[in-house]
Amino acid sequence: MQKYLNNVKNELQLRNYSPKTIDGYLKCLDDYFKFLQNDPQEPDISKIKEFLLKKQEKNYSPQTINVYLNAIKFFYREILKNYIKIEIKSTKRDKKLPIALSREEINKIINTISNSKHRLLISLSYGAGLRVSETVKLKIRDILMDELIIHIKQAKGRKDRITLIPEKLLPDLNILIADRDGNDYLFESERGGRLTERTAQAIFYKALKQAKIKKDATFHSLRHSFATHLLENGTDIRYVQELLGHQNIRTTQIYTHITNPGIKNIKSPL
């Protein structure tokens, strides 16, 4: 089975899939091969369904089950060149609204952080609408302060994009990058190199707790809040889509459900 996994890895790398996607596909297929316990030359639809149902019984999310299904389909179609159609539809995804924080809550979170570098990390992530992976990978050369923009390189989907630098953060950014090389990571760890995503998330959770905010928020809620507040300010949704790097505007439109002033202005009859 290791030969198959190596072939999958090589094919995904040749197609320029992200390391995260490659790692995910390999883990899914390794799990699938262990379940089969024999050579998977021909796709057995009943076995694939049984495998996916076991994942569902273990409360795997619809998104995760779909990754398993996509990995299996990729293996048979692209590696074994077996074109027997796998007639299994993707699992219907949960339609959850993103958790956004209010402006007051964002300020509370930022103001609880005493470490200046950590405070800037959270402020910039919110003010520029960054994913945690984007924040920790920022290099000094990506910060174009004269133009008030950040050049995000090879983000989700291997796409570059441009986003905003909040003008009020310029003094803190200048202090952080003074006399440093452009190739340095903006937010370095104490041991050198970039901060890990886990460390950045821990900084956020600690501040959330200290601010005594009860919402089930995550680091990604900073990005949700960025989009929500831009729309509340009247920013055209197409510009918000571009700043977030969404390929499809329908992904951005979910924030209109949060900002809908019509619903917010309705008075309950109670």
Specify the CATH architecture of the domain 103-261: Orthogonal Bundle (1.10)
**Contact partners, residue 165, CB within 8 Å, separation at least 6:** 124, 127, 128, 143, 144, 145, 148, 149, 150, 173
Q: Which residue has the higher pLDDT, 248 or 14?
A: 14
Report how far apart, in Å, the C-alpha atoms of 266 and of each of 97, 230, 263, 270 are: 19, 22, 5, 12
| Residue ranges matching CATH 1.10.150.130 in the chain | 2-79
pLDDT, averaged across the chain: 90
Q: Using CA atoms, how far apart are residues 153 and 142, in angstroms rounded to an integer?
A: 8
**Tokens coding 240:** 């918000």
Mind listing the pLDDT tens digit for each residue in 137-175?
A: 999 999 999 999 999 987 776 778 989 999 999 999 999
Q: Identify the DSSP state of 151.
A: E
Selection from 185, 209, 179 nearest residue 197 by Cα: 185
Q: Which residue has the higher pLDDT, 96 or 123?
A: 123
**Tokens coding 92:** 């219907």
Q: Model pTM greater than 0.85?
A: no
Whether residue 184 is predicted with pLDDT greater than 90 in this model: the reply is yes
CATH topology of domain 2-79: DNA polymerase; domain 1 (1.10.150)
CB-neighbour burial class of residue 208 (10 A; exposed 0-12, middle 13-18, buried 19+): buried
Q: What pLDDT sits at residue 90? A: 83
List residues with catalytic annotation.
Answer: 131, 156, 220, 223, 246, 255
Report how far apart, in Å, the C-alpha atoms of 216 and of each of 73, 222, 258 are: 35, 12, 16
Torsion (CA) 230, 231, 233, 239 in degrees, nearest 10: 60
Whether residue 5 is predicted with pLDDT greater than 70 in this model: the reply is yes
Confidence of residue 254 (pLDDT cuts 50, 70, 90): confident
Q: What pLDDT sits at residue 115? A: 95
DSSP 71-105: HHHHIIIIIS--------PPPPPP-PPP----HHH
| Residue ranges matching CATH 1.10.443.10 in the chain | 103-261
Cβ neighbour number for residue 224 with a 10 Å cutoff: 22
- Within 145-189, strands assigned E span 149-152, 161-164
Q: What pLDDT sits at residue 250? A: 83
Tokens 């369904």 label which residue? 49
Q: What pLDDT sits at residue 94? A: 66
Type of residue at 4? Y
Whether residue 127 is predicted with pLDDT greater than 90 in this model: the reply is yes
